[in-house]
Structure 1
Amino acid sequence: MTTKKERVFSGIQPSGDIHIGNYMGAIKKWVELTDTHECIYCIVDDHAITVDYDPALLPQRTFDGALAVMACGLDPEKCALFVQSHVPEHTELTWLFNTVTPLGSLFRMTQFKDKARNALQRALNTRQGGARKTALFQLKNIGLKMRDLMGDLHADVDELNPTSPYKGEQELVLTELVARLNDRMGAVMQHLQVGLGVAEASVGLFDYPVLQAADILLYKAPWVPVGEDQEQHLELCREVAERFNRKFGDIFPATQRIRGETAKIIGLDGKQKMSKSLNNTIGILDSYEEIERRLKPAYTDPRRLRRDDPGHPEDCNIFALHKLFSSPEACAEIAEGCSQGTLGCLECKQRLAVSIDTHLAPIRDRAETLRANPSRVIAGIEHGREQASRIAVETMREVRDAMGIGKNALAKF
């Protein structure tokens, strides 16, 4: 008897070229899971429109996203690969989930706060003339008022009664108080920036985690292969499922994260997660020359100032990438040469460029073949849509019946 495979769901945005961080952190795992699980993957274009975007470019990016994951080895015959907006039940379930999702839970989402700040910055960058000046003036005015307030507090400390025998002790206490208030003011300024950003952010961006919960629960997927940065969203997904089940009946599972071996991939700047918007990536379709060019200025061991200085491989982001793309034997040789100061950073980067290029060459070849045969990509995502739709339609029938809505609710009359 064939054992039924557990279901997995995940998605990727069509927001730009897929890079090695996406590949090693997610897509490679997607491909592996198709051998052991029932996998449902989608290009989440509904998520992409929650921020400012160009509708003329979105179709190409959606197609490119599907092409890229197929080039990475994802076989549409072994999974359901589709485009999110092609299955309208995603947005319908989102609206129904909104009715059981507490507003406070959404306000606690840290990613929304970060995205709200980004929305504020984009708004400042795009505003012209008087509108931009007004927004900048408001921020500057807030900062000036805070500075004046801190000046007044410092003055209060200086004006302590000079005859008080406890003057020194009072000064210490008040100085500490001022320092703490100064920290609080910095936090307040951040919250104000978020608040102003919220005014620029869309309701869709705020509701993003509910759409994400609907994406997963529409297919009753108990597992999702995502990074630690999505754990808060998964907690909300479980909360939404639990609230819905408690009110309408046991329909949805408590989704858990599949914990992979690959940690967050740090970008070439050595500071933040690899991201196209930060320009710290290597694309999976980049040529060898482009890979080499992007690696040259990449951040390395900060304590190694000269070529013959002993290095610290475990503190170097270039070595972290070697561990992903180079063989264990090559990594051991590189670690020894770096530690002894016999292998320079430039040569180390050149070796990494070769390793990455060797790894990506088959992906580039498959992408070129698919680019020459776009109908294969379209056929793949249409096949996936049909599979996904069958599950989605049945789930929504259950949901509507449980909630007392839809045509079936009136069938008895």
Structure 2
Amino acid sequence: MTEPTFTPRVFSGIKPSGGLTLGNYLGAIKRFVGMQGEMETIYCVVDLHAITVWQDPAELANATREVAAGYLAAGLDPTQSILFNQSQVAGHAELGWVFNCVARVGWMNRMTQFKDKAGTNAEKVSLGLYAYPSLMAADILLYHATHVPVGEDQKQHVELTRDIAAKFNHDFGTAFFPITEPVIDGPATRVMNLRDGTRKMSKSGESDMERINMTDDADTIAKKFKKAKTDPAALPDTLDGLAGRPEARNLVDIYAALDDSTPEAVIAAYQGAGWGRFKPALADLAVAKLAPISQEMSRLMNDPAEIDRILAQGAARARQIAEPILKQTYDIVGFLRS
């Protein structure tokens, strides 16, 4: 069987729930923008994933626009990349069902994020929350995406996507779906909590001081970094000296990511410095990088019709790619269409 050649194509998405944080920006959006021009890029607001837990409809619509505004304010060019919200392309749900019938229950039982989110209440959560990794595979493979930029915590879902593609190809004697590669790079692919460096920065954390919201103004950004938890010791002269110091390592990683540098370079520049020197420098850098994005997001959110227009145009472009791939999938499976 001749192996097909797939167009190099990136797909990734962000769920519209709870507002964008610095973690979304450094772990995802900044990297998405940086990949424009390297290959074909398709980016999505994954609103179908949002409803795996109940969402207020008006808040969901607003959150969807906010994520789109975050993409655009950070530099995503809707003429260069495709930007849309997932529910406007029906093929995501349709291919998701096909993949529900390809994926195995045992694979889903190994998904650590479901266990984390369901906790001890697994019997009462939605079926969608259990099965959403299969929909995530459909999101990716509906476009024959070859690369997916993800944080370390999402790598397992790309591995599941590879398993589903391989099983579909094997079951139907084809090489139709690519074996997608995860792209994990950069110093802050997993941004941690500003009050507890052992926990990921979250939209749903108890205190607003735990996170940098992408809608925070300059004064709020500076205040949060200056009050971020640290330890008494100064910065070491090597990166190894940050072992066992999660809050310190997190702030160094954030500085490196904002500065397009490396943690090693940050340590070289600030070795021996106390937090009274480093945190104000980090705050200034963060304000310089993030405040313009916050201001542009605010401007865009005041013009929801423009955001909706961009998402609609992106959805039309996405469907042009997705519909032939879905049609071929149906042909391979044997679905009869009159």
Which has the larger Rg?
Answer: 1
Residue 311 of structure 1: CA displacement?
Answer: 4.3
Distance 1:13 1:34 in 2: 21
Q: How does 1:55-134 map to 2 (within 5 A)?
A: 55-117=57-119
Q: SS in structure 2 opposite 1:206?
A: helix
Q: 1:273 aligns with which of 151, 176, 200?
A: 200
Q: 2:148 aligns with which of 185, 199, 224?
A: 224
Q: SS in structure 1 opposite 2:84?
A: strand
> TM-score normalised to the size of structure 1?
0.72
Q: C-alpha offsets along residues 300-327 of structure 1, whole Å, 9 cap, x if unaligned?
A: 13x53xxxxx444743133332223358
CA contact (8 A) 1:67 1:377 kept: yes
Q: C-alpha offsets along residues 182-230 of structure 1, whole Å, 9 cap, x if unaligned?
A: xxxxxxxxxxx3xxx2111111000010000000000011110112211
CA contact (8 A) 2:137 2:161 kept: yes
Partner of 1:12: 14
Partner of 2:216: 286
Distance 1:215 1:327 in 2: 29
2:130 paired with 1:206: yes
Partner of 1:257: 182
Q: C-alpha offsets along residues 223-257 of structure 1, whole Å, 9 cap, x if unaligned?
A: 10112211211111111111111222321110111
43-52 vs 264-273, which deviates more?
Answer: 264-273
Q: Percent identity?
A: 40
Distance 2:320 2:88 in 1: 13
Change in Cα spacing, 1:247 to 1:324, as seen in structure 2 (3 Å) is: closer
Residue 346 of structure 1: CA displacement?
Answer: 3.9
Change in Cα spacing, 1:253 to 1:58, as seen in structure 2 (3 Å) is: same
Q: How does 1:185-196 map to 2 (within 5 A)?
A: 193=120
CA contact (8 A) 1:21 1:274 kept: yes
CA contact (8 A) 1:5 1:36 kept: no
Kindly provide the amino acid, as one letter, of the partner of residue 323 in structure 1.
A
CA contact (8 A) 1:288 1:354 kept: no
Partner of 2:252: 319
Kindly provide the amino acid, as one letter, of the partner of residue 198 in structure 2.
K
> TM-score normalised to the size of structure 2?
0.87
Kindly provide the amino acid, as one letter, of the partner of residue 318 in structure 1.
L
2:266 paired with 1:336: no
Q: SS in structure 2 opposite 1:257?
A: strand
Q: How does 1:117-156 map to 2 (within 5 A)?
A: 117=119
Change in Cα spacing, 1:377 to 1:401, as seen in structure 2 (3 Å) is: same
Distance 1:381 1:204 in 2: 24
2:246 paired with 1:298: no
Q: SS in structure 2 opposite 1:276?
A: coil
Kindly provide the amino acid, as one letter, of the partner of residue 20 in structure 2.
I
Q: 1:383 aligns with which of 291, 306, 313?
A: 313
CA contact (8 A) 1:42 1:83 kept: yes
Partner of 1:395: 325
Distance 2:214 2:7 in 1: 30
Distance 1:396 1:23 in 2: 31
Distance 1:225 1:321 in 2: 18
Q: Provide the aligned C-alpha RMSD in A.
A: 2.2
Partner of 2:3: none
Kindly provide the amino acid, as one letter, of the partner of residue 24 in structure 1.
L
Partner of 2:289: 359
Residue 369 of structure 1: CA displacement?
Answer: 3.2
Greater percentage in helix: 1
Partner of 1:190: none
